[in-house]
Amino acid sequence: MTGLFAGTFARGGAAAAVSDDAWFRALLEVEAALARAAATVGLVPATAADAVTAACADPAGLDLATVVARAADAGNPVPPLVRALQGAVGERDAVAVHVGATSQDVVDTALVLLARQAVAEVDADLAAAAEVCAALARRHRDDLVMGRTLMQQALPTTFGLKAATWLAGLDGARLRLAEVVASLPVQYGGAVGTLAASSGAGVAVREALAADLGLVAPAVPWSTVRLPVADLAGALGAAAGVVATVAVDVVLLAQTEVAEAAEVGEGRGGSSAMPHKRNPVAAISARACARRAPGLVATLLGAMEQEHERAAGAWHSEWPTLTDLLTTVGSAAAWLAESLRGLRPDVGRMADTVAAAGEGSLAGALAEALTPSLGQGAAHDAAAEATRHARDTGRSLAEVVATRTDVDVAAVLGAAVPDPGEAGAQVDAALAEHEQLVEGTP
């Protein structure tokens, strides 16, 4: 993406990994590897394969402007690219150009190579965000913060557990992406998948091509069974969802009325109309980028229905869609890492909020104290009624509880001390799993 919004929606390294230049490099990398694979199995002379490899390594010697101009008329960029390569290497060595392949073989394999590189960039930003979450979880392991459910205050938790939950999500997204990348296959089947133009050596060429590019060699082409693309889409969409969840937490914690955390960044977050404002721009931008992902994922999943041996349109729709998906998820991850690096939790403010919201714990303690005599359901109702009575009369719940004669008031008030349960142990477990991932033993 270029232009006015590139700074927001083409953030991080993924955008460059799927640029037009990157696409050309990937297409040429596939053609060069195919020439070498054909030479490996004896279909073409090694000298011809070397000439093709050299031509692919020097795009300046190719007429790529003509390739771009003719790509639309050809339906994809491969036919004009093949002609440019043949012209570059000369008639003798042209025998090693595009051996036994069809356009889809080259485009699909190039798409896989691009995705692998772009996902590596996405992973780097997800890893950076995860490291910050791990540091926050360690530092704030036992610092109380008000838990919120359905956007309402609930019971106390710890900021350490909140950060550890973010960490587990980011680590999980990384593992899913790594699994998908490890299974990415080469594409090589020829015109209709029969390898008829490979002189009986097609399977061997496919295996050599996969080995050269570090990809999986499938038993058959995946020309219209688009599971590799769908798997990429699903894993990228899930990563975007995790990023968005962390980012929205940051945005909500930074609300003026909450003020339990803030993004710190020089010269960022101002308003054109209100000089006093300090917006959490990085988290907001991460959400904006992540919001684009579900629609792109849906387009890729919708394109899975493909007819016969090559789809008329559905296959073509994948190229820009997956490119955009990689770009926007990469941008979201880059923004999130930036947001978290500048995140400053306000532990004092968090503690004050918990103290001011102690009535939830007190209501729970009252219900627990009444359960032996009333039963669980009736005890819950009685505690709820006491809470309503306190609210209606403008008194604190502690004052209402103090007037009761059916419970040990001191015990109930003592039990209402904020209790984060097993938050700390869960933080420790998440950090241990993270360390295993960092060490390469998930």
**Cβ 85 vs Cβ 55: under 8 Å:** yes
Two tokens at 165?
């939950």
CA 106, chain centre distance (Å): 26
SS3 173: helix
Of 1, 20, 21, residue with least CA distance to 10: 1
**In this structure, how many other beta carbons lie within 10 angstroms of the beta carbon of residue 10?**
21
For residue 271, indicate whether it is catalytic: yes
SS3 343: strand
**Cβ 296 vs Cβ 328: under 8 Å:** yes
Whether the CA torsion 405, 409, 411, 412 is positive or negative: it is positive
User: Which runs of E-coded beta strand occur in 23-139?
Assistant: none
Among residues 183, 271, 388, 391, the one annotated as catalytic is: 271
Two tokens at 156?
């106390």
**Cβ 319 vs Cβ 111: under 8 Å:** yes
**Cβ 171 vs Cβ 382: under 8 Å:** no
Distance CA 354, CA 145 (A): 6
- CA distances in angstroms from 171 to 91, 126, 179, 203, 343, listed in the order given: 52, 8, 12, 37, 19
DSSP 206-257: HHHHHHHHT-B--SS--SS--HHHHHHHHHHHHHHHHHHHHHHHHHHHTSTT
DSSP 195-213: -GGGTT-HHHHHHHHHHHH
| Residue linked to tokens 């990384």 | 174
Question: How many angstroms separate the first and last alpha carbons of the chain?
Answer: 35
Two tokens at 344?
């400053």
Whether the CA torsion 335, 1, 291, 182 is positive or negative: it is negative
Among residues 310, 331, 339, 361, the one annotated as catalytic is: 310
| Residue linked to tokens 């609300």 | 255
Two tokens at 126?
């997800």
For residue 310, indicate whether it is catalytic: yes
- CA distances in angstroms from 392 to 211, 364, 385, 389, listed in the order given: 74, 19, 10, 5
Q: Which residues pair with 344 in a beta bridge?
A: 262
Q: Catalytic residue positions? A: 271, 310
